[in-house]
Amino acid sequence: MSDIEYLKKYYEGNIDDALKLLNEGVPVQYIVGNVDFYGYNFLVNKSVLIPRFETEELVDRTIKYVHKYFDNSVKIVDLGCGSGCIGITLSKELGVSVDAVDISPDALEVARENCIKNNASVKFYLGNMLEPLHDKYDVIISNPPYISYDEEIDEIVKKNEPSLALYADNDGLYFYEEILKNCKRCLNDKFLIAFEIGYTQGERIKEFAFKYLGDVSVSVEKDLSNRDRFVFIFSDK
């Protein structure tokens, strides 16, 4: 479906105003104000990233791993939750309560609205990744900012989506290392860590996992475009 067809189907306001915004380079999802993700509908605005197909795949693979490796109900935290699409979907699909963290108050406002809209069970925390957390978890999942500051990205993304959710230091690896360096205090003995990554980052993140977590299993997996896009870290202790 083209952007114009999408607008005509889903936009409820003046279509001429919407087409003007589209011609000015505003993403169609922000114009419509919502997007479908894993069968659920999520509100989006310029405070949050637009959920993407790759993130749906991250969620789908995580659900399958949870069913495979955990017998009982799991405790999950979504770090850098943005619109809340990951944590809310996991709550709905797995029938569990999820914690979610974001550093942006505006993003958390959107996420809370999405939680109510989708009748999910998610508790939100304002803060930087692991910092506000005091519980222990079976699953940490994150699609953190992972674009290097000197990396070229599509102009429509650069101009519209929140830079706070896009860019990271250390060639885009900063948040992966911070999470892996500090996550032991938040993990149960048996755990799963699930990341969406930039397609060149898999081996470096794998090195971080072994450096900070020791004897773990690490799987770097490809997306539907056959690019490295996910890292799953397991401990079976």
Report the alpha-carbon distance of residue 196 to residue 54 in Å, rounded.
8
In a domain, 16, yes or no: no
In a domain, 41, yes or no: no
In a domain, 32, yes or no: no
CATH code at 123? Answer: 3.40.50.150
In a domain, 65, yes or no: yes
One pLDDT digit (tens) per residue for the chain, 237 residues: 788 888 888 888 889 889 999 999 999 999 999 999 999 999 999 999 999 999 999 999 999 999 999 987 899 999 999 999 999 999 999 999 999 999 999 999 999 999 999 999 999 999 999 999 999 999 999 999 988 877 878 888 888 888 888 878 889 999 999 999 999 999 999 999 999 999 999 999 999 999 999 999 999 999 999 999 999 999 966
Number of domains in the chain: 1
Q: What is the pTM of this model?
A: 0.95
In a domain, 93, yes or no: yes
In a domain, 29, yes or no: no
Query: What pLDDT, in 10s, does the model give residues 6-29?
Result: 888 888 888 988 999 999 999 999
In a domain, 56, yes or no: yes
In a domain, 2, yes or no: no
Host domain of residue 154: 52-236
